[in-house]
Amino acid sequence: MSYLNVEFPGGLRVDARLRDQVIKTDQPVVAGGEGSAPSPFELFLGSIATCAGIYALGFCNSKGISTEGMSISMDLERNMSTGLISKVNLDLKLPEGFPEKYKSAIVNSMDLCTVKKHLQTPPKFEITTK
């Protein structure tokens, strides 16, 4: 059984079926899609931010700290010659009353993000046809 399966429901939509869930993607209107879902690259970027978020959430939960008002914003820097992203900036807005003594610890926990670790040590890709 495959980890996930990709389906092509029409237009420029490409969906991934994972267990009982479907991850929908589409291309933006400017690229010929309908803009009905995030593009695959936008999902990739979202996975970085949400992975950091799950580690921040876990940290707060382990310390009994409320996450009300906590958020993460992402900004990107691009290499103009390659068009590729050269730096990802994640800005964690801490909840009101967050203890000063835990600021570096929550950043360290976010740094454990599994998606980020895979970018630092990328897997090999093998593409086959049947």
pLDDT in tens, 19-54: 999 999 999 999 999 999 999 999 999 999 999 999
Other C-beta atoms closer than 10 Å to the C-beta of 75 total 9
What is the Cα–Cα distance from 56 to 31, expressed in whole angstroms?
A: 35
pLDDT at 97 over 90: yes
Do residues 29 and 49 touch, judged by C-beta distance below 8 A? no
**How confident is the model over 102-121, as pLDDT tens digits?**
999 999 999 999 999 999 99
pLDDT at 1 over 80: no
Q: Comparing C-alpha atoms, which of 110, 129, 120, 13 is closest to residue 56? A: 110
**What's the confidence (pLDDT) of residue 20?**
93
The tally of CA atoms less than 13 A away on the side-chain side of residue 121 is 3
Across the chain, mean pLDDT equals 96
